[in-house]
Chain A
Amino acid sequence: MHNGPITAVIPNISGEKVFTGGYDSNIYQWDLSRNNPILVGTHNHLINSITLSNNNKFLASSSSDYTIKLFDTTNNHLTKTFIGHSDDVEDITFSEDDAYLISTSRDHRCLVWDIASGAIINQFQHHEKDVLSVWVYKERAFTAGDDGKVFVWNFITNKLIKELGPFNYEVDTVGGSKERGLFALGADDGSVHLYDANTYQFIDKFKAHQQGVKQVTFSPSGNLLLTAGYDHKINIWNVDDIQKTKELSPYIYQWERCLNWTHDERYIIGASFGKTFCKWDVNTGRVIDNDLELATPSINDLSVSMLGDIATASDDGKFRVNGEVISEKNHVLTNSVCTTDDGTFIVWGNHAGEVYLFDRVSESVKKKFELNTGPINVSYFCASDNNFYVGTYGGYVHIINLVSMKEVNRWKAQEGAIKSLTVDDENIVTVSADATIHIFDKSNISDVTVFVGPNAIINDIHLIEDKKQLIVVSRDKFVRIFDLLTGKIIIQHNKHRYSIKSITQNKSGQVISGDYWGYIVIWDLEKDTISDPFRIGTNGISALESKGENVFASSYDGAIYSIGKSGEVSELIRIFTQHPEKIEQN
């Protein structure tokens, strides 16, 4: 059983087996009833995608450990490891004759691998940003990525055949039907674009979702198209007339990043937030076994009150303080949590775009806000104006006032998802997936200054208030300090070997950063020293917060750690153990 979110699911043709891969680095084989899990293999880091060869004899997995692995499905033995990418491998697919693998990566490249020899026969380098999705048809690869570009190219000759677009928004997903000779693109504005896969002629565009489309999957016959979006909806469309034929029942554990049809088109199976996969009956649209709890409590965020109470947001959506569940009101994954300084109120933001305001005195949910601008990613409490500031995947900032308990303002702050935000008396600063820093004047939200600098997604920021300086960490592995008034990059380091997720500054002024592999770097600005990265968790450091003499770190591995000013680390709370074998090794 998985110990973390499941990112990839695929059934075999006969319908006897389902394979799953997840953020716990494991690949499992199940029967369709979700019983008898067998561990197929593991990677050294998150698994982003798995796929089966057309003859179902092999399974390929792509991972954030930069490798691709090939398993023999008859005996689940590891056959080969493909090494060549220099960043997370996002998507992977077999050619129709099963002779080649085509992979896409955050290193901006697509590689074509000869399966028999393991050699890289081509690298396609037309994408300017992370390449997220691939579909193959005949000898052609259709690839889409963060640059908003979709290319059709011949993976044998490496020749570019066609560029679609340009689009004004990111295209996260491409999928097609060999049977129908069609392919579809899912865009960040909620639209789906349908094309002829032989002529690349545009056929139709329709509004499939209120927010970004994360998945498009044709049914095996090609007659139906499944789409899923950030509006938390899964829709099924008739391909011939583009009419919606069904909307699947929403399921709190559904994760729109991967959904697949069984070959008899009776069931939809999908990614989830842990344990095992989601399953729907296509006929009824209903979730099968609705009462199963499908989530493990990887910790996505933490917030510490002055009293030292630690609130956590986790994949299982339960509200916890100091590791104890204080409310079962919500089971949808929470990505953000924020407490008032005195600890009397806490807000949790979830994947369905809802914010819960929890009263610690009465131990009850005071109010629930349905914001509907995508999953909630970040929240921040500003004591001077008594407002919670909430950022969403849709690029919106919402202001919820604690006194009136009402949403008092909202605006589209950035084009990309809001990854982090911070507030002082004068400014609201947001950063996003599009690598820009937006600084809003609190008294006039339309007055915004845009700063650039990082070369990739910005994951977190920390404001040094007395100096008007902003610490920014990014996927590009740099910690940068900006002067907020001029936009000048004052100083920076790139000691991390992996993408940086979180940042804070402790009372002594040391800058502490955490990366996606669980490493911490301590940067002492005064002494001009930077530590080497040292590992505290077995998975990424999702959040860092400084309180008193200590820094508190939450990890996807299920624990909260404290880091003292001399770098001493201790485990404070463990909600669950994602990697028991690794902890034993330590």
Chain B
Amino acid sequence: MKNINSKLQEKVKTITINADKSIFLVGPISLPLKVREEVKLFNWYSWISTTDIPDTETLLNSLTTLNFNEFQQSSILVYGDFENSDKSIVRLHSICHTGDIFGSQKCECGFQLKKSLETITEYGSGALFYLANHEGRGIGLFNKALTYLLQEDGMDTVEANNAIGFDDDLRDYEEPAHLLKYFRRKPIDVISNNPSKINFLTKMGIDVANQITLWDKLSSYNERYIETKINKSGHVRATNDSDLNIVGGIYNA
């Protein structure tokens, strides 16, 4: 166990968020992914954040009692020389059980996940953060199922979240922002239709060079969802038929 622990200790980094809270980041682990029918090698990381585990050793010694299987953990997929390359692109992807895994056409999540990985490999450098506590814009899978029922009766996605007592969007990007800064200090392009996300990263001191928007083709299944995101949640509208647009230069002056 001792030898095993020393290898693992090397691969687990501690990142302090504040006096009480730390992130334990494990990786990199080589992960071959099929992107556009070609195998590409990514470096995979996972992390947990905690307020009551003081160090890596304590963490590794209490794995059997921490019941991590009861909670979802997030991932980071890093491609190329993410730290040093001049140009790099990042996607902060909120988990979507129905869209990402099942390929549900009610949302555009599955499309965005696939397209983001393709774009990262095209850039030659980048990272995808897969954020596990973001299901249903932060309300969780069970509650998302409830809102889908309400949407069957005519509510839109924002109204349905409100109807069961939640705000429109509960997602928090503080941990990914800290991790982003750990991985890279140079400017990044960000794949997102959501300006609030870009503004939060900027506020956290991350140098966002460009916002790259990504829209799936409209279908009868996702049309209302996409319109709601544009009309109620402030998302940037696609500017032409292309599914990948550079919206504009955004910079820290």
The complex places the Cα of A488 from the Cα of B198 at a distance, in Å, of: 9
Whether B252 lies near A448 (C-beta < 8 A) is yes
The complex places the Cα of A450 from the Cα of B198 at a distance, in Å, of: 10
Whether B234 lies near A487 (C-beta < 8 A) is no
Q: Which residues of A contact B32 (CB under 8 A)?
A: none
As a 0/1 sequence over residues 180 to 212 of chain A, the CB contacts with chain B under 8 angstroms (1 = contact) are 000000000000000000000000000000000
The complex places the Cα of A489 from the Cα of B233 at a distance, in Å, of: 7
Whether B196 lies near A489 (C-beta < 8 A) is yes
Whether B195 lies near A489 (C-beta < 8 A) is yes
Most buried by A among B196, B233, B236, B252: B196
Whether B200 lies near A486 (C-beta < 8 A) is yes
Interface stretch of the complex, out of A64-72, A279-287, A451-459: A451-459
With A128-B239, A489-B196, A489-B233 as known contacts, state yes or no: A449 contacts B250, CB within 8 Å: no
As a 0/1 sequence over residues 209 to 253 of chain B, the CB contacts with chain A under 8 angstroms (1 = contact) are 001000000000000000000011110110110000001101111
Q: Which residues of B contact A448 (CB under 8 A)?
A: 252-253
Question: Is B203 located at the chain interface by the 8 A CB criterion?
Answer: yes
Q: Which residues of B contact A488 (CB under 8 A)?
A: 169, 196, 199-200
Question: Is B56 located at the chain interface by the 8 A CB criterion?
Answer: no
Question: Is A480 located at the chain interface by the 8 A CB criterion?
Answer: yes
Question: Is B104 located at the chain interface by the 8 A CB criterion?
Answer: no
CB A491 to nearest CB in B, in angstroms, measures 8
Task: Identify which of A128, A451, A494 contacts B199 (C-beta below 8 A).
Answer: A451
Task: Identify which of A128, A414, A452, A485 contacts B195 (C-beta below 8 A).
Answer: A452
CB A301 to nearest CB in B, in angstroms, measures 26
The complex places the Cα of A352 from the Cα of B119 at a distance, in Å, of: 48
Whether B196 lies near A450 (C-beta < 8 A) is no
Whether B196 lies near A455 (C-beta < 8 A) is no
Whether A449 lies near B202 (C-beta < 8 A) is yes
Whether B239 lies near A438 (C-beta < 8 A) is no
Whether A436 lies near B233 (C-beta < 8 A) is no
Task: Identify which of A450, A487, A492 contacts B200 (C-beta below 8 A).
Answer: A487
What residue in chain B is nearest A454 (Cβ atoms)?
B195
Task: Identify which of A128, A455, A486, A492 contacts B203 (C-beta below 8 A).
Answer: A486
Chain A residues 440 to 484 lying within 8 A of chain B, measured CB to CB, are 448-453, 455, 478, 480, 482
Q: Which residues of A contact B234 (CB under 8 A)?
A: 453, 478, 480, 489, 492
With A453-B199, A487-B199 as known contacts, state yes or no: A108 contacts B239, CB within 8 Å: yes
Q: Which residues of B contact A482 (CB under 8 A)?
A: 199
Task: Identify which of B198, B233, B237 contacts A455 (C-beta below 8 A).
Answer: B237
Q: Which residues of A contact B236 (CB under 8 A)?
A: 455
Task: Identify which of B169, B195, B231, B240 contacts A494 (C-beta below 8 A).
Answer: B231
Q: Which residues of B contact A344 (CB under 8 A)?
A: none
User: Interface size (A, Cβ < 8 Å)?
Assistant: 25
The complex places the Cα of A438 from the Cα of B251 at a distance, in Å, of: 10
With A492-B234, A494-B231 as known contacts, state yes or no: A436 contacts B250, CB within 8 Å: yes
The complex places the Cα of A377 from the Cα of B239 at a distance, in Å, of: 29
Whether B231 lies near A452 (C-beta < 8 A) is no
Q: Which residues of B contact A429 (CB under 8 A)?
A: none
Whether B196 lies near A125 (C-beta < 8 A) is no
CB B211 to nearest CB in A, in angstroms, measures 7
Question: Is A433 located at the chain interface by the 8 A CB criterion?
Answer: no
Whether B199 lies near A452 (C-beta < 8 A) is yes
Question: Is A435 located at the chain interface by the 8 A CB criterion?
Answer: yes
The complex places the Cα of A125 from the Cα of B242 at a distance, in Å, of: 12
Most buried by A among B169, B198, B200, B203: B203
Task: Identify which of A434, A435, A450, A494 contacts B202 (C-beta below 8 A).
Answer: A450
What residue in chain A is nearest B167 (Cβ atoms)?
A490
The complex places the Cα of A128 from the Cα of B169 at a distance, in Å, of: 30
The complex places the Cα of A217 from the Cα of B145 at a distance, in Å, of: 63
Whether B250 lies near A452 (C-beta < 8 A) is yes
Q: Which residues of B contact A492 (CB under 8 A)?
A: 231-232, 234
CB A31 to nearest CB in B, in angstroms, measures 46
Q: Which residues of B contact A108 (CB under 8 A)?
A: 239
What residue in chain B is nearest A108 (Cβ atoms)?
B239
CB B150 to nearest CB in A, in angstroms, measures 18
Chain A residues 88 to 109 lying within 8 A of chain B, measured CB to CB, are 108
The complex places the Cα of A450 from the Cα of B237 at a distance, in Å, of: 20
CB A381 to nearest CB in B, in angstroms, measures 25
With A455-B236, A492-B234 as known contacts, state yes or no: A487 contacts B252, CB within 8 Å: no
Whether B248 lies near A450 (C-beta < 8 A) is no
The complex places the Cα of A488 from the Cα of B235 at a distance, in Å, of: 11
Whether A450 lies near B195 (C-beta < 8 A) is no
With A453-B234, A494-B231 as known contacts, state yes or no: A486 contacts B199, CB within 8 Å: yes
The complex places the Cα of A450 from the Cα of B239 at a distance, in Å, of: 22
As a 0/1 sequence over residues 538 to 563 of chain A, the CB contacts with chain B under 8 angstroms (1 = contact) are 00000000000000000000000000
The complex places the Cα of A509 from the Cα of B22 at a distance, in Å, of: 41
The complex places the Cα of A414 from the Cα of B249 at a distance, in Å, of: 13
What residue in chain B is nearest A125 (Cβ atoms)?
B240
CB A124 to nearest CB in B, in angstroms, measures 12
Whether A452 lies near B211 (C-beta < 8 A) is yes
Q: Which residues of B contact A485 (CB under 8 A)?
A: 203
Task: Identify which of A414, A435, A453 contacts B196 (C-beta below 8 A).
Answer: A453
Q: Which residues of A contact B196 (CB under 8 A)?
A: 453, 486-489
What residue in chain B is nearest A438 (Cβ atoms)?
B253
What residue in chain A is nearest B236 (Cβ atoms)?
A455
Chain B residues 78 to 96 lying within 8 A of chain A, measured CB to CB, are none
Whether A452 lies near B203 (C-beta < 8 A) is no
Chain B residues 172 to 201 lying within 8 A of chain A, measured CB to CB, are 195-196, 198-200
The complex places the Cα of A449 from the Cα of B237 at a distance, in Å, of: 23
Q: Which residues of A contact B198 (CB under 8 A)?
A: 452, 487
Q: Which residues of B contact A436 (CB under 8 A)?
A: 250
Whether A451 lies near B202 (C-beta < 8 A) is yes
Query: Can you sample 30 A-B contacts with CB below 8 Å?
Result: A125-B240, A128-B239, A414-B253, A434-B248, A435-B248, A436-B250, A448-B252, A448-B253, A449-B203, A449-B252, A450-B202, A451-B202, A452-B195, A452-B198, A452-B199, A452-B211, A452-B250, A453-B195, A453-B196, A455-B247, A478-B234, A482-B199, A485-B203, A486-B196, A486-B200, A487-B196, A487-B203, A488-B169, A492-B231, A492-B232
Which 8 interchain pairs have the tightest Cβ spacing?
A487-B199, A489-B234, A453-B195, A488-B196, A451-B199, A452-B195, A489-B196, A452-B250
| Known A449-B252, A487-B199, A487-B202; further 9 A-B contacts with Cβ < 8 A | A125-B240, A450-B253, A452-B211, A455-B236, A455-B247, A482-B199, A486-B199, A489-B196, A489-B234
